[in-house]
Amino acid sequence: MSTDKKPLSATARAVGERIGSLRDFIEFLEENGQCITWTNEIMPEPDVRNIAVAAGRDSMNGPAVIFNNIAGYPGKKLVLGVHGSFTNLALLLGHPKGTTIKELFYDIISRWGDDKPLLDFIEPEAAPVNENRLTDNFNLYDLLPLYRINEYDGGFYIGKANVVSRDPRDPDNFGKQNVGIYRIQVQAPGEFTLLSIPAHDMGRHIMAAEQEGVPLKISVMLGNHPAMCMFAATPVGYEESEFAYASQMMGSPLRLTKSGNGMDILADSEMIIEAELMNGVRTFEGPFGEFPGSYSGVRKIPRFKVTAISHRNDPIFENIYIGRGWTEHDTLIGLNTSAPIYAQLIKDFPEVVAVNALYQHGLTGVISVKNRFAGFAKSVAMRALGTPHGTMYLKNLIMVDDDVDPFDLNEVMWALSTRTRADDTIVIPNMPLIPIDPGAEVAGKGHRLIIDATSFMPPDKLGSDSKIVTPPAGPEIDEIAKVIQLLQNGVNS
Amino acid sequence: MSTCPRCQAAEEKIRVEHKGLNAQGELVWTIFHCNACEFTWRDSEPAISIDYDTREAFFRVDPEKPYPVIMPPAQYK
Ligand SMILES: [Zn+2]
């Protein structure tokens, strides 16, 4: 899938070329005042979660935080919040601070696709991730500064791993190689559980391996190129490559190499944990504070055994705070959740202007559309519910006109206040819904709500005698707003 | 070390996973794991996470009870 491309700006190209790894991006964030280092000694619990939550309060401008003085982990480094604010994403895409979410949305849309992948393959011996290689006596508790993310989690979680797996029935197929973010709970020094469900690519691979009695090998990539994390969390087609999407978004090659167990991996990641499924084993996992802001319960899930570990010198452990929103999870996946829904909708409905599916992975979405005729927005809403992501996630949909920025909640609330009739809402009962929704009466099933907050059109007479005030708007006003912000921050423009 | 903070399993079901040392090699904390309910904890954590009586009862686990199994392997047989 791809959208209409615009050439990248010179700045965006330069940033793409400069950032080849997590380390490069951290350095770039530091230069731009978007990454701080917490040097005071802290305890793993509760200090890490306390500081992560405080730093993440500002979803527009919050910084990443490096911890380099964790008691009991001398010399170890942890980083959180790398994707914790929209400004951090703006910098990654070569934009200045103050870039709006809507501008980022359109930029990501214009880069969206996998038709022009930029992938360089290098020999494993030349890959920085192979600077150190362990083949026995694994101890994840020692290698990584692990900690409990939320106070009732069942253990210590790795929440931002990008996991590579291949279809065990078709292991030579690059397209059927999947990169996904799956939560990992460390269960022993050299073993962990990984949560997937049958609908996920990884779930399919696990079931295939156990059905056929063949080994399932995976490579867990930690501390990755920041674009990789964004696409590992993006629902792309089963035969599409997340590596291809990530490289195309950056407009610059990603360096890949082969892991010891045959997966394609990022050559510049901080650590690769190679592991193998323990066929037929299921282990207690959870609870874990998840993105809807509630704990998912205790379950018995598949377990993996570490077979080898590669890591850079002084590896940086990158993790995420996740829980009741807003959190880094929302910033990490929000725009990449919105973009494919938009790309799928405009194929049939070019009147769609923008899609905001930022909230709880799209449990609530706002779609801006130019009404072709009365009731048109409802037809678009129905189509959105039929997109791959919409089928399981879009629980509440708010439809607004093309003059409303769906990313600006003040504008959305204005549309709700002035353009909604109570009988312009639709409830569709008993639809499929992700099991994790805490509002579900039965897990896996729920009702959908469509609120049509678009204006009335003929033949509907309602509202025909009111005229909307036209305040100054457009690029000129946006520019003035940015100047005002700079003046307020004491920067001479 | 005593019983599991989550399921109250006895001491013999609990194993030491890792000891965290400071730069001088002195013990800072110890990580434990319960073989009965698979809970992992560090002895330096706040009571809300590691003290059975302080923890909300909602989060207790009884390993003898049935819990949902993700992709039950039995389905292939
Ligand atoms: Zn226990």
> Domain spans of chain A?
10-318, 349-463
Asked whether residue B76 is assigned to any structural domain, the reply reads no
Each residue's pLDDT tens digit, A133-179: 999 999 999 999 999 999 999 999 999 999 999 999 888 887 778 99
- Least CB-CB distance to B42: which of A44, A188, A189? A44
Burial of A395 (0-12, 13-18, 19+ CB in 10 A): buried
Each residue's pLDDT tens digit, A52-91: 999 999 999 999 999 999 999 999 999 999 999 999 999 9
Nearest Cα of chain B lies from the Cα of A86 at a distance, in angstroms, of 32
Chain A interface disruption, residue of B30, B40, B62, most A CBs within 10 A: B40
Asked whether residue B31 is assigned to any structural domain, the reply reads yes
Q: Which residue has the higher pLDDT, B4 or A446?
A: B4
Q: Rounded to whole angstroms, what are the CA distances from A27 to A22, A37, A82, A105, A247?
A: 9, 11, 11, 25, 20
Question: Are the beta carbons of A452 and A377 closer than 8 angstroms?
Answer: yes
Asked whether residue B18 is assigned to any structural domain, the reply reads yes
Asked whether residue B74 is assigned to any structural domain, the reply reads no
Q: Which residue has the higher pLDDT, A89 or A471?
A: A89
Q: Inter-chain contact B40–A206, Cβ cutoff 8 Å?
A: no
Could you tell me the distance, in angstroms and rounded to a whole number, from the CA of residue A283 to the centre of ligand 1?
Answer: 13
Each residue's pLDDT tens digit, A166-217: 999 888 887 778 999 999 999 999 999 999 988 788 999 999 999 999 999 9
- Least CB-CB distance to A45: which of B49, B73, B76? B49
User: Alpha-carbon distance A255 to A79, whole Å?
Assistant: 22
Is A189 touching B (CB cutoff 8 A)?
A: yes
Beta bridge partners of A134: A309
What are the residues whose beta carbon lies below 5 Å from ligand 1 (ion)? B 4, 6-7, 9, 34, 36-37, 39
What pLDDT is attached to residue A437? Answer: 85
Give the class (CATH, top level) of A349-463. alpha beta
Please tell me what DSSP assigns to residue A260: T
* Tally of domains in chain B: 1
- Give yes or no for residue A390 having a pLDDT over 90: yes
- Least CB-CB distance to A72: which of B29, B39, B73? B29
Per the rule left: phi > 0, alpha: psi between -120 and 50, beta: everything else, A362 is: left
Question: Are the beta carbons of B55 and A276 closer than 8 angstroms?
Answer: no
**How large a percentage of chain A has pLDDT more than 90?**
79
Q: Given the residues A242, A285, A290, A318, select the one marked as catalytic.
A: A290
pLDDT (mean) for A326-348: 94
What rounded mean pLDDT belongs to chain A? 93
- Give yes or no for residue A257 having a pLDDT over 50: yes
Q: Inter-chain contact B68–A300, Cβ cutoff 8 Å?
A: yes
Domain membership of residue B44 as a residue range: 1-57
Q: What is the band of A493 on the pLDDT scale with cuts at 50, 70, 90?
A: very low
A10-318 CATH choice from 3.30.70.270, 3.90.79.10, 2.30.110.10, 3.30.70.260: 2.30.110.10
Per mean pLDDT, which range of A60-64, A228-232, A455-459 is the poorest?
A: A455-459
- Give yes or no for residue A429 having a pLDDT over 90: yes
Assess whether A123 carries a catalytic annotation: no
| Phi, psi dihedrals of residue A459, rounded to the nearest 5° | -80, 5
Each residue's pLDDT tens digit, B14-73: 999 999 999 999 999 999 999 999 999 999 999 999 999 999 999 999 999 999 999 998
Beta bridge partners of B33: B15, B40
| Phi, psi dihedrals of residue B69, rounded to the nearest 5° | -110, 125
Asked whether residue B12 is assigned to any structural domain, the reply reads yes
Asked whether residue B63 is assigned to any structural domain, the reply reads no
